[in-house]
Amino acid sequence: MKQASMARLLAAALLMPALAAAAGLRIVGEHLPPSSMMEGNVVVGRETLKVRGIMARAGIAYSIELLPWKRAYAQALREADTCIFSTSRTQEREAQFRWIGPLNEAEWILYGLAERHLTLRTLADARGLVIGTVLGDARDDYLRQRGMNVAPVTQEWLNPQKLLLGRIDLWAVGMAVGSKPFVGKEWEGKVVPLLTFNRVQTYLACNKQLPEAQVAAMQRAAAAMRRDGSMAREQLH
């Protein structure tokens, strides 16, 4: 009986990788227009298109899901068949993932209400002010490490509302270089950039246990998209 149980366990263990491969790679991100958002039941957006392009060229089956950032990040760290986008590649995160990209360059900018006429020359000028961040985000970590007063939320869209209501003084925003994400928003013109405090590249960050063959295929696909200009074209959408 014991030998039979062991045989069943061994058979299940051997079957698990095959089932995982059949299910495809799981890609997670957050709701962050215009980079990633829902259109009906489909995840769309500028960075989403780049990820889909990489996966199509690599010939890897996948699914995409949007989650609160901290949950998505923890999942990518924990689950072997999971990648997360768009992830800022920082020194602190370097050893945690396999990095596919870059997808884009992003600036980290402190925004404030135009009516307050705040002036920031350096990050030190923001000390003592309450800064809206996203829990577990690289900007949140960066500001915490420098002793800034952060007020994190679980999803980015809450921060502009808090800023307009006066519940935070500043909003730490990460945006693609040259983009205009506030066009058409209710806070357009009311919220203004005050200080660019960092510049990073963003990537598709994959669990370190992802098979080397898949990592290599995705890297080749990303490189091909940079060479033929399709990666840059998507940045204009």
Q: What is d(CA 172, CA 84) in angstroms, rounded to the nearest whole number?
A: 21
Structure-token match 């039941």, residue found: 41
Extract the tokens encoding 174: 């990460």
pLDDT recorded at residue 17:
39
**pLDDT tier at 85, thresholds 50, 70, 90:** very high
Residue % of the chain over a pLDDT of 70 = 88
**pLDDT tier at 32, thresholds 50, 70, 90:** confident
Residue 237 CB burial class (10 angstroms; 0-12, 13-18, ≥19)? exposed
Structure confidence by residue, pLDDT tens digits, 194-215: 999 999 999 999 999 999 999 9
Q: Report whether 201 contacts 91 (CB < 8 A).
A: no
Contacts of 202 (CB under 8 A, 6+ apart): 47, 85, 86, 87, 88, 89, 101, 102, 103, 104, 105, 106, 174, 176
Extract the tokens encoding 64: 């995409």
CATH superfamily of 106-200: Periplasmic binding protein-like II (3.40.190.10)
Q: Do 2-104+203-234 and 106-200 share a fold? A: yes
CATH top-level class for 2-104+203-234? alpha beta
Domain boundaries, the chain: 2-104+203-234, 106-200
* pLDDT for 11 beyond 90: no
DSSP 5: H
Task: Tell me the pTM.
Answer: 0.79
Extract the tokens encoding 157: 């869209």
* pLDDT for 13 beyond 70: no
* pLDDT for 157 beyond 50: yes
Q: Report whether 107 contacts 142 (CB < 8 A).
A: no
Nearest to 200 by CA among 139, 120, 134, 111: 139
What is the SS3 assignment for 109? Answer: strand
Q: Report whether 48 contacts 206 (CB < 8 A).
A: no
Element (H, E) at 36: none
Q: Report whether 220 contacts 228 (CB < 8 A).
A: no
Residue 34 burial (CB count, 10 A): 17
pLDDT recorded at residue 18:
39
Structure confidence by residue, pLDDT tens digits, 90-101: 999 999 999 999
pLDDT recorded at residue 8:
44
